[in-house]
């Protein structure tokens, strides 16, 4: 008996039969060239179809050139897209999954570098987040766009697509007609609610006409734009009811958030510590007004127990588990086989998925470096023997020094590929800097999820883990000698250490007082030892300065965060930054921007980064420094130049967990090969 009987049960969406209730919803991958899907995009979705997904909704596909959100948006208006659909549909159908396509127009929302096309919208209302300044659509232009929806639907039908989803959520073009704040028209598309919903209804009707009777046709709607200036749950439910009364719908995909504002955008792909239960109230209001329509619930649904609860309770009929399947394409297959412990869980970091999208680079995943690289990285390795099985003589041997993200990824990959692996860590815990970050609210949930997955995979791979063992240069030589001539090698993953400016003492003169100097890592790990008031000298706007400010302020200290970056939090993904800034504001943290720490002969002061002007020194008993990192590379001089010895992760050059995991996984697979 499966613990997820509803999640794994079949369902029908209009004319389309599904093998289970799990959807990979529309999300941008960057695996698009010249506005057409690439072979990498086919391989990416093929992996999720092979892993058991019932429906894969292709990313936002523009119905008109004016609706291209980014340079990497698929052009559903291009005749060449038919061949791409045919290839993708064939690959997915062969593996039991259905292909839906999201038909899209961004309206005034644009994420593009110059030269940008002119933006269009119901009315000439600028967009706050991306600073687009649109012109108002004429009636003839609206008619042309509606024909674009019809034509795009017809091309999708020719390509063998199974369903079409009209994007009317997140403040994109149809949703810009919904809201009075963005729709100031005085013709038949403006004014009363029926008129404001008319464009979306006519777009859906055009799609139905182009699609014919064999395709499922539905719409994606925000259930709450989660923005004080946007549509609330009641307003969104009224729109859904009006739309359903105006045009037949096979399904409604329910999401949260809006692209046009900082507050609302965070909910498009909500990171921890936002609760997934935030969807419940808006979803219930939406469900209450929808009759005989399949409801797809998505927004932060990554855990199968949560998905099963939504379905079994009748709150939804299908669930979008998109990020969960980015992290583990085989999620559904593993759940069906009773192998839940083997799932590589999404940690909600937003770094490789939506973070890459906003950076204009192809999708990836911190915990699954194969994401977006399915065609080139190779198939995921699985343990060659069950846990506890005796080691096979002659296997490659891999020794990994350092159990942070890079070291653990290398150990897991090498063991899964068949190597005998030893993982050595100087501290008493796994995780390195990620475990430290897990002490703070922003990363606690992410670290808890990842640590569970990693410990399970280390155990499955029968990795020998040795904690509390400091490897010296002499010890490293001995480890290398112990390998002898065996295949494999030694991986140095000793990470990084906080950078401390030369000559900085444990106490400095800060203004008119003496302040104790504490490193940010130490303050996060032992906040009870830090006396307030506190000033945090943050060099780059990354997670360390933000986390230490939050941890200390939550503990009751008066905190000033003096940031030398161009913007507070510029080193983290914008959705996480939005949440950081909200929490720091509630905690009363004082933010001082463009403020760098200067040191000279036991004195410390602050100056303006751009003008050099000496700034007023905040009062502080403790100066917490977050001034970057340097490699912990004391072992490298003894190992440099030796065959089958490599550095991976921060010891090679401090960066993020994403690079550490990717380098670790590649090195582990290479040495085990």
SS3 annotation, 460-528: HCCCEEEECCCCCHHHHHHHHHHHCCCCEEEEECCCEEECCCCCCCCEEEECCEEEEEEEHHHHHHCHH
Residue numbers annotated as active site: 172
Q: What is the β-pairing status of strands 488-492 and 397-401? A: parallel
> Rounded to whole angstroms, how far apart are CA atoms 40 and 31?
6
Are the C-beta atoms of 185 and 138 separated by less than 8 Å?
no
> Rounded to whole angstroms, how far apart are CA atoms 621 and 601?
19
| Residue 379 pLDDT | 59
DSSP state of 74: E
| Residue 388 pLDDT | 44
Please, where in the chain does CATH 3.20.20.70 lie?
A: 11-345
Question: Could you tell me which residues come within 8 angstroms of residue 263 by beta carbon, excluding any fewer than 6 positions away?
Answer: 226, 227, 228, 578
The distance from CA 20 to its chain's CA centroid, rounded to whole angstroms, is 25
Residue 175: C-alpha distances to residues 259, 419, 445 (Å): 11, 54, 33
| Domain 11-345 CATH assignment equals 3.20.20.70 | yes
Reduce the DSSP state of residue 427 to 3 states and report it: coil
DSSP state of 328: -
| Residue 393 pLDDT | 58
> Rounded to whole angstroms, how far apart are CA atoms 443 and 273?
8
Are the C-beta atoms of 478 and 404 separated by less than 8 Å?
no
Phi, psi of 128 (to 5 degrees): -70, -40
| Nearest-5° Cα angle at 250, 249 to 251 | 95
Please, where in the chain does CATH 3.40.50.720 lie?
A: 397-497+632-672
| Residue 81 pLDDT | 98
Residue 119: C-alpha distances to residues 58, 66, 71, 135, 169 (Å): 24, 7, 14, 6, 18
> Rounded to whole angstroms, how far apart are CA atoms 45 and 57?
9
| Residue 276 pLDDT | 75
> Rounded to whole angstroms, how far apart are CA atoms 108 and 129?
11
Helix (H) / strand (E) element for 238: namely: helix 233-246
For residue 603, the cross-strand partners are: 509, 600
Q: Tell me the pLDDT tens digit for each residue of 640-672.
A: 999 899 999 999 999 999 999 999 999 999 999
Question: Could you tell me which residues come within 8 angstroms of residue 587 by beta carbon, excluding any fewer than 6 positions away?
Answer: 550, 553, 554, 559
Tokens of 478: 């001995």
| Nearest-5° Cα angle at 232, 228 to 234 | 155
Alpha helix stretches (DSSP H) within 113-232: 139-158, 173-178, 193-211
CB atoms within 10 A of CB 389: 10
Q: Tell me the pLDDT tens digit for each residue of 302-331.
A: 999 999 999 999 999 999 999 999 999 999
| Residue 490 pLDDT | 96
> Rounded to whole angstroms, how far apart are CA atoms 118 and 125?
13
Give per-residue burial for 315-330: e unless 16+ CB within 10 Å, then b.
bbbbbbbbbbbbbbbb
> Rounded to whole angstroms, how far apart are CA atoms 350 and 159?
32
Supply the pTM of this predicted model. Answer: 0.94
Helix (H) / strand (E) element for 122: namely: none
Question: Could you tell me which residues come within 8 angstroms of residue 271 by beta carbon, excluding any fewer than 6 positions away?
Answer: 348, 349, 350, 573, 575, 576, 579
**Helices and strands, counts by H and E, the chain:** 22, 30
Q: Which residues of the chain have pLDDT under 70?
A: 378-393
| Residue 168 pLDDT | 98
Reduce the DSSP state of residue 544 to 3 states and report it: helix
> Rounded to whole angstroms, how far apart are CA atoms 345 and 337?
16
> Rounded to whole angstroms, how far apart are CA atoms 581 and 473?
43
CATH superfamily of 500-627: FAD/NAD(P)-binding domain (3.50.50.60)
Residue 96: closest CA among 341, 333, 448, 428: 333
CATH superfamily of 397-497+632-672: NAD(P)-binding Rossmann-like Domain (3.40.50.720)
């Amino acid at each position: 008996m499966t613990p997820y009987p509803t999640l794994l049960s079949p369902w029908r969406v209009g004319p389309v039969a599904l093998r289970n209730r799990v959807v990979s919803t529309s999300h941008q991958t960057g695996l698009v060239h010249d506005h057409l899907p690439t072979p990498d995009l086919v391989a990416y979705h093929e992996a999720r179809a092979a892993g058991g997904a019932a429906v894969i909704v292709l990313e936002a596909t523009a119905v008109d050139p004016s609706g291209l959100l980014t340079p990497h948006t698929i052009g559903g208006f291009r005749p060449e897209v038919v061949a791409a659909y045919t290839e993708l549909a064939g690959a997915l159908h062969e593996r039991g999954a259905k292909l839906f396509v999201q038909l899209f127009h961004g309206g005034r929302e644009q994420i593009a570098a110059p030269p940008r096309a002119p933006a269009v919208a119901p009315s000439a209302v600028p967009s706050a987040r991306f600073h687009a300044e649109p012109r108002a659509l004429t009636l003839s232009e609206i008619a042309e766009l509606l024909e674009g929806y019809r034509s795009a639907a017809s091309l999708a039908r020719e390509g063998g697509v199974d369903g079409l989803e009209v994007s009317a959520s997140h403040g994109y073009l149809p949703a810009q007609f919904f809201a009075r704040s963005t729709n100031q028209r005085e013709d038949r598309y403006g004014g009363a609610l029926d008129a404001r919903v008319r464009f979306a209804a006519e777009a859906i009707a055009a799609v139905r006409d182009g699609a014919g009777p064999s395709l499922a046709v539905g719409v994606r709607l925000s259930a709450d734009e989660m923005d004080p200036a946007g549509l609330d749950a009641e307003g969104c439910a009224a729109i859904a009811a009006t739309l359903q009364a105006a045009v037949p719908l096979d399904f409604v995909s329910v999401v949260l958030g809006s692209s046009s504002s900082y507050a609302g955008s965070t909910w498009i792909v909500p990171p921890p510590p936002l609760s997934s239960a935030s969807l419940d109230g808006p979803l219930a209001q939406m469900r209450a007004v929808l009759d005989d329509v399949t409801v797809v619930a998505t927004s932060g649904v990554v855990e199968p127990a949560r998905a099963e609860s939504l379905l079994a309770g009748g709150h939804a009929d299908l669930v979008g588990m998109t990020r969960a399947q980015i992290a583990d394409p085989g999620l559904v297959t593993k759940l069906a086989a009773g192998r839940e412990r083997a799932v590589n869980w999404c940690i909600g970091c937003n770094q490789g998925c939506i973070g890459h999208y906003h950076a204009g680079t192809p999708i990836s995943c911190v915990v699954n470096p194969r994401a977006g690289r399915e065609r080139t990285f190779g198939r995921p390795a699985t343990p060659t023997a069950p846990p506890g099985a005796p080691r096979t003589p002659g296997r490659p041997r891999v020794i990994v020094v350092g159990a942070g993200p890079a070291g653990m990824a290398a150990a897991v990959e090498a063991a899964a590929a068949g190597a005998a692996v030893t993982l050595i860590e100087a501290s008493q815990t796994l995780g390195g800097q990620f475990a430290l970050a897990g002490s703070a609210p922003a990363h606690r949930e992410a670290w808890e999820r990842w640590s569970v997955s990693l410990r399970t995979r280390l155990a499955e791979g029968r990795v020998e883990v040795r904690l509390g063992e400091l490897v010296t240069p002499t010890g490293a030589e001995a480890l290398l000698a112990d390998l002898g001539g065996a295949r494999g090698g030694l991986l140095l993953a000793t990470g990084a250490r906080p950078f401390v400016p030369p000559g900085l003492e444990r106490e400095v003169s800060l203004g008119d007082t003496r302040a104790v100097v504490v490193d940010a890592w130490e303050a996060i790990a032992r906040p009870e030892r830090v006396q307030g008031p506190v000033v945090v000298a943050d060099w780059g706007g990354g997670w360390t300065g933000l986390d230490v400010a939050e941890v200390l302020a939550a503990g009751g200290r008066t905190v000033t965060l003096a940031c030398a970056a161009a913007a507070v939090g510029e080193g983290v993904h914008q959705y996480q930054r939005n949440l950081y800034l909200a929490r720091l504001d509630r905690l009363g943290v004082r933010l001082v921007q463009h403020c760098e720490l200067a040191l000279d002969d036991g004195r410390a002061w602050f100056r303006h980064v751009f003008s050099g002007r000496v700034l007023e020194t905040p009062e502080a008993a403790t100066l917490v420094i977050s001034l970057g990192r340097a490699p912990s590379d004391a072992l490298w001089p003894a190992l440099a130049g030796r065959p089958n010895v490599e550095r991976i992760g921060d010891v090679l050059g401090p960066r993020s967990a994403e690079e550490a995991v990717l380098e670790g996984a590649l090195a582990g697979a290479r040495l085990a090969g």
